Chain A
Amino acid sequence: MGINRRQFGALLATSLFAPQLFATQGKPLIASAAQNREGGHCLVMLNTVGQEIWSHPLPARAHHVEAHPVQPVIAVIGRRPETFIDILDYQQQRLIKRVYAEAGQHFYGHAVFSSDGRFLLSAENDITTGNGMISVRDVYHDYKIIGQFHSGGIGPHELKMMSDRKTLLVANGGILTHPDQGRAKLNLDSMQPSLAYIDLASGRVIEQVYMPEELQQLSIRHFDINPKDRVAIGLQYQGDKRDDVPLVAFHSRGEALRLVRAPAAVNSAMKQYCGSVRFDKSGEFVAISSPRGNLITFWAQGKSQYIDKISSRDGCGIARTYQPGEFLISTGRGHCYRYNLLRQEREKLSLTLNTPIAWDNHLLSFY
């Protein structure tokens, strides 16, 4: 069988023409894990005019996509309880390496690069003990594991570097799972969600804040950090669906966790679930998605206060743009929006996709 046009194109993409290809395809705008109509999983990248420039097939469902701080490289992390991270060169559009979890461990869907780009830090489950682990892999030596330390709790989820470039912040969701029992939650009565500040050099927890006991079922899973190290957190409640609980929190080092609520009607419309949390360019505004309630809420970090909401059907992925107060939003319906909070303007991006897709939980923008 001969080479068809598509395969020829793929060959081109990995050959000597690659740099030109990148130039003609335009600069990337966003990347996200996605699912197509047939249920296949892929990483999809769009350029600044909303055109699909790359779809990379994944072995299973992924969760977060992290960009390397220096190189044109992204890491696509397998969702719990998957065991792969695809390391991709998005200029040459090729798989650099498929990183696998160590035997007896699996990923939780999130990983970050260290601030200097030398290490890949991933949240993992030590399946036998149920301990949350952080693995350190050497980016410049074939992603070999060079160290592991405890995450400070069960079920580590999102993680990020602080501005000092040496402290790692980890959200320990608190929920115990075992791959033999699928995604079933095994410890809802005893979970202890926490935020753990970890010194990367020693792997030691240097500060940790816990959810108060009466809200022990409020899982800390997603957060973002602004340049002043203010942490905005989106929560997920595991208790009775009729309970009225706060769903957002703020934190700064040395202080107590500050739990906050939207006005009653909005708080209940958030359906006890936050999906993604992102600061804007200015670091003052936070967008938090609540896909079960089909809405995005906006918060001011200064006063730790709710500002506004917009509706977004099945919207979950959030990323900032280069404009203060502006966010990109991706949805399970396959749409993307640009929303400017300050001007209260919403624009539906016109996308050119090769096949209809559902955007998965998290969105990466290249701003």
Chain B
Amino acid sequence: MPPSITKHWFLLALGSMLIANNAAAEISQDSWRRMNQNIVSQHILPGYEELLSQATRLELSTTQLCKAPTTENLETSRHEFRSTLAAWQGIQHITFGPIELLMRSYSIQFWPDKKNLTSKQLNKLLQAEDPDTLTDTAFQTASIAVKGLPAMERILFSDKAIELIQQSPFRCQLLHAISNYVKDQSEDTYREWQAFQTEFTYLESEEGQYESAQEASIDLLKSQIEPLEIIRDLKLIRPLGKQKAKTRRLESWRSQHSLQNIQINLQSLHHMYSGLEGANLYGLLKEQGAIDLANKIEQQFTELEHLIEGIPTPLEQHIHDEVVRNKLQMLAEGIERLGKYFETSMKHIQIQLGFNSRDGD
């Protein structure tokens, strides 16, 4: 065999070995750490900061509303409510860490509410008009159904909201107490996350929350992937019903924010996936040779976002329309497909999201 051909073959073989190596390469703890730190600093902390800033404005606006219960002030509070809801929808997918403490997440938004507990608990408080129920201490032991956004939404967006508030100052005081609670919870969560951030600085740790940077990545990746099923099942399929839509099953139908919630959820997950400067999951998948899959996920996000833009709002008025219904079903299917892409992608980065924790007996 002439030497040139041998050399050629050798180089080809070497080249394919390198590719194979690259695809199967173990991801270094440093790579995991870089991705984690980007997610925390560019995605999670800003998300909670935004929630705190909106919740603070909402609390201020309700103070104003209670002082001067005018239609104008009500509109301001409604606007601030929607902004706070939007901020929450943008960070709701982070279900671990400080937000887990004592069911904080559920108390900020108790939903779905199949038994309408929020209305029941809220009406009890409104009927009793007991000022003691407005204190911080009382709030600690109050039902989680009445501490958060859905309870405020019922007061702010009821048909005769302004008349009811004008008739009963207690009603507004309760609204304010709830908004104050949400602000406090947002503030504590944000502050605690600033401290929790250090858990993402280690490559390996004996004493910390995570044994390795990769372990920390698993919590983050779960927050990237697991919410998709919830969005699909609870925010789309359940309100769509088997044959006929059930509008009261829509999330935030009172404030006419149902579709926006889903839109924000997906945009936020998209940002977490590929919108971060520097190392992110999109880049990591490509580095591991899963280029097609990485791009498919990216395209799927974009397609879903386009699909949502073509759906008229408010959803509860249009959901019975056959064309809209079909689009929502397409959206649900598209979200499921996105979830499947993500599950497949985990194999390329040698991640098992959970074995005993996800499928026990």
Q: A residues bordering B, Cβ < 8 Å?
A: 35, 37, 63, 79-80, 109, 157, 221, 236, 242, 244, 264-265, 268-269, 273, 275, 289, 291-292, 294, 311, 313-317, 331-333, 348, 358-361
**16 extra A-B contacts, CB within 8 A, seeds A37-B350, A242-B106, A314-B354:** A63-B361, A79-B361, A242-B110, A289-B356, A311-B209, A313-B210, A313-B215, A314-B355, A314-B357, A315-B356, A332-B355, A332-B356, A333-B352, A358-B352, A358-B356, A361-B356
Partner of A264 from the list B102, B144, B209, B355 (CB cut-off 8 Å) is B102
| Bound CA–CA A331/B209 (angstroms) | 16
Please, which residues of chain B bring their CB within 8 A of the CB of A316?
Answer: 356-357, 360
| Bound CA–CA A41/B101 (angstroms) | 36
Do the beta carbons of A313 and B218 come within 8 Å of each other?
A: yes
**What 1/0 mask marks residues of chain B from 299 to 332 whose CB sits below 8 Å from any chain A CB?**
0000000000000000000000000000000000
Does B211 sit within 8 A of A, measured CB to CB?
yes
Please, which residues of chain A bring their CB within 8 A of the CB of B211?
Answer: 313, 348
| Bound CA–CA A315/B356 (angstroms) | 7
Do the beta carbons of B103 and A291 come within 8 Å of each other?
A: no
Please, which residues of chain B bring their CB within 8 A of the CB of A265?
Answer: 101-102
Partner of A35 from the list B100, B101, B209, B355 (CB cut-off 8 Å) is B355
16 A-B residue pairings within 8 Å (CB atoms): A37-B350, A79-B361, A236-B360, A242-B110, A265-B102, A268-B100, A268-B103, A291-B354, A292-B360, A313-B211, A314-B354, A315-B356, A316-B360, A332-B352, A358-B352, A358-B356
Q: B residues bordering A, Cβ < 8 Å?
A: 100-103, 106, 110, 144, 209-211, 215, 218, 350, 352, 354-357, 360-361
| Bound CA–CA A80/B360 (angstroms) | 11
Please, which residues of chain A bring their CB within 8 A of the CB of B102?
Answer: 264-265, 268
Instruction: Among B101, B350, B352, B361, find the residue whose CB has the most chain A CB atoms closer than 10 A.
Output: B361
Partner of A361 from the list B110, B144, B210, B360 (CB cut-off 8 Å) is B360
Q: How far is the CB of B102 from chain A (nearest CB, A)?
A: 6
| Bound CA–CA A221/B361 (angstroms) | 8
| Bound CA–CA A272/B79 (angstroms) | 37
With both beta carbons as reference points, the residue of chain A lying nearest to B100 in the complex is identified as A269
| Bound CA–CA A358/B210 (angstroms) | 18
Please, which residues of chain A bring their CB within 8 A of the CB of B106?
Answer: 242
Do the beta carbons of B361 and A331 come within 8 Å of each other?
A: no
Partner of B103 from the list A221, A242, A289, A331 (CB cut-off 8 Å) is A242
| Bound CA–CA A35/B102 (angstroms) | 33
Do the beta carbons of A332 and B357 come within 8 Å of each other?
A: yes
| Bound CA–CA A275/B354 (angstroms) | 14
Q: How far is the CB of B250 from chain A (nearest CB, A)?
A: 20
Where chain B touches its partner, the secondary structure class is: loop
Where chain A touches its partner, the secondary structure class is: mixed
| Bound CA–CA A311/B106 (angstroms) | 23
With both beta carbons as reference points, the residue of chain B lying nearest to A311 in the complex is identified as B209
Do the beta carbons of A360 and B144 come within 8 Å of each other?
A: no
| Bound CA–CA A29/B355 (angstroms) | 22
Partner of B354 from the list A109, A268, A332 (CB cut-off 8 Å) is A332
| Bound CA–CA A109/B360 (angstroms) | 11
Please, which residues of chain A bring their CB within 8 A of the CB of B360?
Answer: 236, 273, 275, 291-292, 316, 361
Do the beta carbons of A333 and B215 come within 8 Å of each other?
A: yes
Do the beta carbons of A294 and B100 come within 8 Å of each other?
A: no
Please, which residues of chain B bring their CB within 8 A of the CB of A264?
Answer: 102
Q: How far is the CB of B222 from chain A (nearest CB, A)?
A: 11
Given the contacts A109-B361, A265-B101, A361-B361, A331 and B356 also touching, CB distance less than 8 Å: yes
Do the beta carbons of B103 and A360 come within 8 Å of each other?
A: no
| Bound CA–CA A267/B159 (angstroms) | 40
| Bound CA–CA A67/B287 (angstroms) | 46
| Bound CA–CA A79/B355 (angstroms) | 14
| Bound CA–CA A269/B103 (angstroms) | 9
With both beta carbons as reference points, the residue of chain A lying nearest to B354 in the complex is identified as A314
Q: How far is the CB of B161 from chain A (nearest CB, A)?
A: 27
- List the 7 closest A-B pairs by CB distance, nearest first: A332-B355, A316-B356, A291-B356, A358-B355, A291-B357, A332-B356, A242-B106
Q: How far is the CB of A335 from chain B (nearest CB, A)?
A: 8
Please, which residues of chain B bring their CB within 8 A of the CB of A269?
Answer: 100
| Bound CA–CA A265/B100 (angstroms) | 9
Partner of B357 from the list A221, A268, A294, A359 (CB cut-off 8 Å) is A294
Please, which residues of chain B bring their CB within 8 A of the CB of A273?
Answer: 360
Please, which residues of chain A bring their CB within 8 A of the CB of B101?
Answer: 265
| Bound CA–CA A332/B209 (angstroms) | 17
| Bound CA–CA A313/B218 (angstroms) | 10
Q: How far is the CB of B206 from chain A (nearest CB, A)?
A: 9
Q: How far is the CB of A41 from chain B (nearest CB, A)?
A: 12
Please, which residues of chain A bring their CB within 8 A of the CB of B354?
Answer: 291, 314, 332
Please, which residues of chain B bring their CB within 8 A of the CB of A244?
Answer: 103
Q: How far is the CB of B343 from chain A (nearest CB, A)?
A: 13
| Bound CA–CA A311/B97 (angstroms) | 13
With both beta carbons as reference points, the residue of chain B lying nearest to A317 in the complex is identified as B356
Q: How far is the CB of B238 from chain A (nearest CB, A)?
A: 15
Q: How far is the CB of B46 from chain A (nearest CB, A)?
A: 26
| Bound CA–CA A332/B358 (angstroms) | 10
Do the beta carbons of B356 and A314 come within 8 Å of each other?
A: yes
Q: How far is the CB of B218 from chain A (nearest CB, A)?
A: 7
| Bound CA–CA A332/B352 (angstroms) | 8
| Bound CA–CA A316/B209 (angstroms) | 17
Please, which residues of chain B bring their CB within 8 A of the CB of A63?
Answer: 361
Q: How far is the CB of A338 from chain B (nearest CB, A)?
A: 14
Do the beta carbons of A80 and B103 come within 8 Å of each other?
A: no
